Amino acid sequence: MKRVKLLLAGALFSVGLMGLSTGCFNRTAQGNIYVKQEKTKSSDHKDATKADSSKKSHKSSIAVSSSSQTSQSSSSESSTSVSSHISSQASATSTVVVTPPPTISVQSGTNHIASANSYAYSAATVHTEMTGTPTTINHKVVFLTFDDGVNTSMTPRVLSVLQKYGVHATFFIVGNTINPTTAPVLRQEYDSGHGIAIHSFTHQYHFNAPGNSGAALQEYQQTLAAMKNVLGANFDSKVWRYPGGHMSWRGLADSDAKLNAQGITWMDWNAAVGDALGSSGPKTAQAMLQYHAASITAFPQSNVEVVLIHDAVGKELSLAILPQIIQYYQQRQYQFGILS
């Protein structure tokens, strides 16, 4: 019954908010269920890939400098961090001032540093809690999740806001955005105590196609390999998000089973700011905040809120309202967690 309620909530969210009939998500009726269908490849993701790709094509395994690899084996690592100042009107090419980070204590087999243990939550437990089923999470926790990075223009500015407010988030990385240029930003996400999760390698929408059930696991493995080249062989992440979200598609049971067999949890969201909707999405900060408030009511009540935001190139409005989103949850006594 709770699964039926969750599906119904997803359907209500699909058709009830802000007239979402066009844009990045096209919503078409299939029987009595409304399914959110993304374009073959979103323009935001293509912009991010174009902005951050090297002249050579991306490969599933990238090379990083020997000095970076040496630092990964040390229990104390040093890299650059973004400044704590940000202008919501700044262009995507704004210069970011960097300062040295504190000493980092790494740990093996996780998607975050050791100091993040106190606010890291099992993705599987959060997944269950989102359905309204009681779990061991008996207090209010919000998980800010950023999709479609990593890049050198928007991602550092998001990191700066998070640093300013002293909160942490989970970054769902698209594997083919990882290259020698973006590697320091990925490193900074990790070193700053954020969670690192996987959002496929290609960001295409074919995982539910007949005979293609192994593609999700393959793209998970490609992305994890690219992450290990930057963050070290002991890095691991068992958190996955389908492009477009699991709620957007039918026919994912076989794909889910292959991921589950490897201990990988797929994660959707139960709150959003509407920045994935293209031309049909919110056009002002106030409209985006209203969209966020409305989105929360479309899903079963629970102790957790998993908020969908994007750090792709061009998401200036999302960046501008990020402080208000953080304050929204702070004022309601939510703790900020990461997915692990």
> 154-207: per-residue pLDDT in tens?
999 999 999 999 999 999 999 999 999 999 999 999 999 999 999 999 999 999
pLDDT at residue number 172: 98
Residue at 38 is within a domain: yes
Report if residue 73 sits inside a domain.
no
pLDDT in tens, 16-45: 333 333 333 332 222 222 223 333 334 444
**Domain-embedded: residue 96:** no
pLDDT of the residue at 135: 97
Rounded Cα–Cα distance for residues 228 and 243 (Å): 21
How far is the C-alpha of 275 from the C-alpha of 256, rounded, in Å?
A: 26
Note whether residue 247 is domain-resident: yes
DSSP for 261-279? HTT-EE---SEE-STTSGG
pLDDT higher for 188 or 107?
Answer: 188
Asked whether the predicted pLDDT for residue 51 surpasses 90, the reply is: no
pTM: 0.74
Enclosing domain of residue 208: 2-53+109-339
Cβ(301)–Cβ(265) under 8 Å? no
Residue 91 forms part of a structural domain: no
Does residue 163 form part of some domain?
yes
Dump pLDDT digits (tens) for 259-302: 999 999 999 999 999 999 988 999 999 999 999 999 999 999 99
Quote the CA–CA distance of 186 and 143 in Å, as a whole number.
Answer: 19
Is residue 93 one of the residues assigned to a domain?
no
pLDDT of amino acid 321 = 98
| 90 domain-assigned | no
Total domain count for the chain?
1
CATH label of the domain that carries residue 149: 3.20.20.370
